[in-house]
Structure 1
Amino acid sequence: MTIIRYIPAFVVSLILIACHKEEPHQVETAFTLSDTMMARSGFEKVTMMRVKNEVRLFGKIAADNSKTAQVYPVVGGIVTSINVELGDYLKQGQVMATIQSSEVAQFQKERLDALSEVAVAEKNLAVANDLFKGKLNSERDVAVAEKELENAKAELARVNDIHKIYNLKGGSVYSVVAPISGFVISKRINQNEQLPSDLSEPLFSIAEINEVWALANVNESDIANIKVGVDASVRTLAFPDRIFNGKIDKVFNAIDPETRSIKARVKLPNADFQLKPEMNCTVAVHYTESDSLPAVSSSAVIFDKSKNWVMIFKDKHNIETRQVSVYRQLGDVTYIKSGIAPGETVVTKNSLLIYDAIND
């Protein structure tokens, strides 16, 4: 009977010892955020936000049509000199090329003939007036002489206008000059080339590119989301780390039958001339959806074990690892479909360190 009495007491003592040993173990595994780590970490409250979305389009940089000039040959002839190359900056009136032309020589002859006709008509009128004063001819003869002088002056004015339009200086040389200030964006002329007088293609194209267009191709499936006034950001291969921001200012209604797409235009300032016509670019168009969801900084979301997690901060002794379902990540913002509620606080800086400390 004595042994039976002592056995339960022994069992009870073992249970008490086991419980006494488990308490320190729980204290050792509990995580507390130190004051130093607390100061280095970042926190933010979960807020409800309208969901933003993004469509990525491909396109090209183009010059503003209203600031572009096409330079056509107004006469045929042989190209004797070319003074500019692609990419050169020109000032208005600068000579771009010279053409030796028989047509220019003909214009010069016409001007000399017109000057001569005016001189002859003036002398004939003076003679008619003298004869009329001496009663040797009629008033009708004076009127005829005046009409001849008027016609001669009209012809001279016409020829002078041609010289002014073509910027003819004399001889048989025609100078191709820049009609506006800007950069040469195309050149279709070679030294010693024979140019026909009816050439339909421009010799040069000049454009001011302090402001350019990004023309993006919009697929039919994205047309509903592309509207005038929507924010857009443009990137190029030449400057991958730079973002050029603008807004869609025009959506063209015509669909290309081959590509099944329409064009959307974004105007971009280009004061440093880094954007050049014909550059390939990507255009990210940002628009807002009708739904609202909890949103956090993307740095708060941790991807591990094929799942997404956030660290819910209540106090430095109470930090919870919470699995969440991500709806969409857009840049620095991540929209959460489920797992957190507005008003909760998440760790945004050093969240991975805290996650590893708690879960490893």
Structure 2
Amino acid sequence: MKTSNNILYISVSALMLLTACGKKEAEAPKEDEKQQFVLSDKMYDQCSLTNATQEYAQNEIRLFGKVSAENNNISQVFPAVGGSVIKINAELGDYVQQGQLLASIRSTEIAGYQSETSDAEANVSIAERNYQSVKDMYEGKLASEKELVMAQKELDKAKAERNRMGEVNQIYKLKSGSVYNMYAPISGYIVSKDISPNEMLSANRDEAVFTVAKLDNVWILANVNESDLSRIKVGQEASIHTIAYPDRDIKGKIDKIFNVIDPDTRAAKALIKVPNTDVSLKPEMNATVKIHYADDKQYVAVPSASVVFENNKNFVMVFNAKNNIETREVGIYRALDDKTYISSGLKAGEKVIVKGNLLIYDAIND
């Protein structure tokens, strides 16, 4: 009997042990079972969402060019006479007022002009005295009418020469002595300077010694390749960026396309006028010009920041609810800096996560 009781006791204990182990195994979660992701209220407040839209895709062409002063607001200063530079009053980049002294030159030609002016004044005085004398003689029947006419002609000739020298002095703003002064023809900035102290200047030189430009408005001259000419039109919106101000988006429109191809660059020039009241844009600055134009076909559009690229694939995080966020693979038709056009995988009206999408993507897919 004892043996039978012992066997029964052992069997019951073994059965209870197997039952307990079975319950523990059933209660343990499966290793490959993932916990459902739920977006917390704090994270939700830090995210930004947007609805995908249906719109015509925008194309983008990038042109490269330079900042230039407006041709109508540029004035060059050439030396009217040759001579030695004795003083320079303006430097490259300076702002000058119209009529401000730029540089002074000592010139023998100026001395010659002064001598000619003095001679012209003296000749007028002599001709006036001679005319008056002949006139008195004519009235006294001591001179002929022909002599009176000749005296009048000599006076007129002397006055004409005096007037000519007066205009020369006025044009060149000559004063007494042998110094020739160069003045700013307009108010603006010195954008070019090719003169040095003690330099000997030639009166017939081809290059200007100063170039003064107004910079309240400037031109952006962009190179347009032959392959892009058919897609660039006057009036198209342009977005301009410079190396000096990479975060500044300057807006403008194409005002003119020059119908000439540069033989060196094989490109035409597109002109864009841009306000420059703060004079931040300087001539010869490099500029990148983005031209946008619409396709004839519509696509689903989302902000470019909402697209996640991984393993040569593109994804967006589709928001249905805080506990229902979907990682959706999409096909890309065209990606611009601020907008991406979707060709497949997303419908207009669906909500995607823009800010915070990378953190959520990692939390769901890691």
Q: Which category of TM-score, normalised to the shorter sequence, fits these structures?
A: 0.7 to 0.9
> Given the alignment of the two structures, is residue 222 of structure 1 paired with residue 218 of structure 2, yes or no?
no
User: Does residue 232 in structure 1 map to residue 238 in structure 2?
Assistant: yes
Which residue of the partner structure matches residue 353 of structure 2?
Answer: 347
Q: Distance in 2 between matches of 1:154 and 1:353?
A: 89
The residue number in structure 1 matching 2:329 is 323
Range moving further from structure 2, 239-248 or 21-30: 21-30
- Give the letter aligned to residue 200 of structure 2: Q
Change in 2 beyond 3 A, CA 1:129/1:92: same
Which of 276, 280, 296 is equivalent to 1:274? Answer: 280
Letter of the 2:84 counterpart: I
Indicate the larger mover: 136-145 or 277-286.
136-145
**CA offset digits 1:84-132 (Å, max 9, x no partner):** 2211111111111111112111111111111111111221222223223
- Structure-2 separation of matches of 1:257 and 1:144: 63
Q: CA deviation at 1:267?
A: 1.7
1:195 paired with 2:219, answer no
Give the Cα–Cα distance (whole angstroms) in 2 for the partners of residues 99 and 162 of structure 1: 17
Query: Could you tell me which residue of structure 2 aligns to residue 7 of structure 1?
Result: none
> Secondary structure of the equivalent of 1:29?
coil
- After the TM superposition, which of the residue ranges 204-213 and 32-41 deviates more from structure 2? 32-41
**Deviation at residue 24 of structure 1 after TM alignment:** 11
TM-fit CA distance, 1:21? 6.2
Provide the C-alpha distance between the structure 2 equivalents of 1:40 and 1:99, rounded to a whole number of angstroms. 69
Aligned residues: 346
Matches within 5 A, 1:54-73: 54-73=60-79
Q: 2:318 aligned to 286, 290, 312, which one?
A: 312
Cα displacement (A) at 1:233: 2.3
TM-score, with structure 1 as normaliser: 0.87
Counterpart pick for 2:49 among 43, 47, 50 = 43
Shift of 1:25: 10
C-alpha distance in 2 between matches for 1:39 and 1:99: 72
Q: Is the partner of 1:228 in helix, strand or coil?
A: coil
Whether 2:179 is the aligned partner of 1:167: answer no
Task: Give 1:1-360 correspondences, 5 Å limit.
Answer: 29-360=35-366
Q: Take 2:29 and 2:262, find their aligned partners in 1: how far apart are those partners? A: 74
Q: Secondary structure at the match of 1:97?
A: strand
Q: Structure 2: which amino acid aligns with 1:276?
A: K
Q: Equivalents in 1 of 2:206, 2:174: separation in Å?
A: 21
Q: Offset at 1:26?
A: 11
Amino acid across the alignment from 1:150: D
Of residues 70-79 and 241-250 in structure 1, the stretch that sits farther from structure 2 once superposed is 241-250
TM-score, normalised with respect to structure 2: 0.86
Note closer, same or farther for the CA distance 1:299–1:200 as it changes in structure 2 (3 Å cut): closer
1:165-205 per-position Cα deviation (integer Å, ceiling 9, x unaligned): 11101111111111111111222222222222322221111
* 1:315 partner amino acid: A
Taking the aligned partners of 1:288 and 1:74, their CA distance within structure 2 comes to: 54
Structure 2 CA distance for aligned equivalents of residues 341 and 211 of structure 1? 45
Amino acid at match of 2:280: Q
Counterparts of 1:234 and 1:45, CA distance in 2: 28
Alignment RMSD (CA, Å): 2.7
Q: Secondary structure at the match of 1:201?
A: coil
Q: How far apart are the structure 2 equivalents of 1:164 and 1:170? A: 12
Q: 2:132, 2:181 → 1: CA distance?
A: 40
Distance 1:332 1:348 in 2: 12
Q: Which runs of 5+ in 1 are unaligned?
A: 1-12
User: Would the alpha carbon gap of residues 216 and 121 (structure 1) be closer, same or farther in structure 2, given more than 3 Å must change?
Assistant: same
C-alpha displacement of 1:27:
10
Letter in 2 for 1:354: I
2:250 maps to a residue whose letter is F
Q: Shift of residue 292 of structure 1? A: 1.4
Letter in 1 for 2:108: S
2:168 partner SS: helix
Write the letter of the residue equivalent to 1:59. G
